[in-house]
Structure 1
Amino acid sequence: MDVQFSIDRTSPVPLYFQLSQQLEAAIGRGDLPPGSLLGNEIDLAGRLGLSRPTVRQAISALVDKGLLVRRRGVGTQVVHTEVRRSLELSSLYDDLASAGRRPATRVLALGVVPAAAGPAAALGLAEGDDVLRMERLRLTGDEPIAYLTNHLPAHLLRPAAADLEATGLYRLLRMAGTTLHSARQTIGARAATPEEAHLLAEPPGAPLLYMTRTAFDDKGHVVEHGTHLYRASRYSFELQLLMRS
């Protein structure tokens, strides 16, 4: 483990909590990817000049959060962390990047096709009209997180696969002069088909979160309709609820 920690012994913050917070931040940034070994408590305490009970308390706090696991004969190990995403009009690529999760994209399909009934209705087009259709697999590091299918009016954007691999769809839309304003969104859950399970590295029938979203620009025009599938074992949505007066 090459991550450096800074412990301030003059701070009123308990030493175990300082270490716990820095470990959690390193895991969130990807500096300690899933599978990383922390070493045993005696070695870690010696490196940091801390007592073994202090190190044990810090590690126990992250074990309780599900970020670390103690394995007999192996030691303390980083486990797969869940991506948490606030429900806002933003792209998954930008959300992962801002969280330090190192997003990557694999373009599975990209081209102009005749609109099927569902996407045509969502985009306000006639069935058979030209639409830009794309399928992408979103990853953090080498781990798949989401399978994304999007339809756009064909005149709005014509990205190359390399463009979609380099950044998020909403950023490309903004660069093309589209001002995103609002969206209508539905979230649910269902079992993975064999093909979806293979793409997302899950067993067939594993639970997936799905989201359908129709996005509008500042003039009220539909600019994008997406159907996205997320690994329920690695992903969750966060909502802020306000009491109605």
Structure 2
Amino acid sequence: MDFKINHKSPVPLHVQAELLLRRLIESPEYQEGKLLPNEVDLAKRLAISRATLRQAINKLVFEGLLIRKKGVGTKVASIQSISSKSKNWLSFSQEMETRGIPIKNFELHISWVIPDQKVANFFEIKGNQKVLQLVRLRGRPEGPFVYFRSYFHPRVGLTGDEDFTRPLYEILEKEHQVIAYISKEEISALLADEFIAQKLETDIGSPILCRKRFVYDVAERPIEYNLGYYKADSFVYTVESRRE
């Protein structure tokens, strides 16, 4: 494995170190219990401060992926000890796959649009700069239950010619080297207007779950602004919290 960090990259050093460690701990030797390299030696090898390296290690310890023992060292946690504090998240396709729900695309539209002010402000771009808009109506084979509208920062490099029947974040990572790293969400309830009711094949005024997702790359730069409108009787959003 190449132990290198790009000191000229806009990606923060601690984020690069964290990504390197995530790849490192996937290797069989560390999965089998071998201690990670000494912090002092690894920091020197990466040409970063020990504090920067420790920031990356602390995040993985917090997620339950690493165990650090004073006087012993740091190693990969066993599967049984992985913490529920891990903040993994999935794309819609991955979510449905894990639940065993077959998904059908009823509509898929791609266009370049001038975003409204909320989207422009999120992307920190001028209001007259066009962005790629991806609209999808999705659901079970027997009928749709979610209407998505996504906007992408021009920096991402999407052209509109991609095969959007594939998982979105797979396209971003494999074709454009953009890793969707952070997702922040807002959930709210509303009543279906005429447009949403028609798309979701429900009555005007029916309860709808509105899910906003704000997605960032490893440098914590915005890459996607996503709006999802779900039929309330077809989708349950579950949050599990655990008191430590």
Shared fold, TM over 0.5: yes
Could you tell me which residue of structure 1 aligns to residue 168 of structure 2? 169
SS in 2 for 1:180: coil
Equivalent residue runs for 1:20-35 within 5 Å: none
Q: Secondary structure at the match of 1:148?
A: strand
Instruction: Say yes or no: does 1:159 pair with 2:160.
Output: yes
Please tell me the root mean square deviation across aligned C-alpha atoms, in Å: 1.8
Report the alpha carbon displacement of residue 88 of structure 1 after superposing the two structures with TM.
5.2
- Give the structure 2 partner of residue 96 of structure 1: 96
CA displacement 1:143-192 (0-9 Å, x = unmatched): 1020001100134212337x12x223222212221112112210010000
Partner of 1:135: 135
Output the amino acid matched with 1:148.
F
Q: Deviations over 1:85-119 (max 9, x none)?
A: xx953111121123221112233431112222111
TM-score (norm 2): 0.60
After TM superposition, the structure 1 = structure 2 runs for residues 75-154 of structure 1, keeping only pairs within 5 Å, are 89-154=89-154
The equivalent of 2:206 in structure 1 is 206
The runs of 5 or more residues in structure 2 that have no matched partner are: 1-86
**In structure 2, how many angstroms separate the alpha carbons of the residues matched to 1:143 and 1:174?**
30
* Residue identity matched to 2:192: A
Task: Name the counterpart of 1:181.
Answer: 181
Q: Runs ≥4 in structure 1, deviation > 6 angstroms?
A: none
Is 1:114–1:127's contact at 8 Å kept on the other side of the alignment? yes
Q: Distance in 1 between matches of 2:231 and 2:89?
A: 20
Contact 1:132–1:154 (CA under 8 A) maintained in structure 2: yes
Q: Are 1:185 and 1:214, in contact at CA under 8 Å, matched by a contact in 2?
A: yes
Matches of 1:142 and 1:167 in 2, distance apart?
Answer: 21
Distance of 1:124 and 1:214 partners within structure 2: 13
**Structure number with higher strand proportion:** 1
- Number of corresponding residues: 156
- 1:88 & 1:173 partners in 2: Cα distance? 17
Please, which runs of 5 or more residues in structure 1 have no aligned partner?
A: 1-86
TM superposition shift of 1:218: 0.6
Bigger relative CO (Cα 8 Å, ≥ 6 apart): 1
The SS at the match of 1:101 is coil
User: Residue type of the partner of 2:169?
Assistant: Y
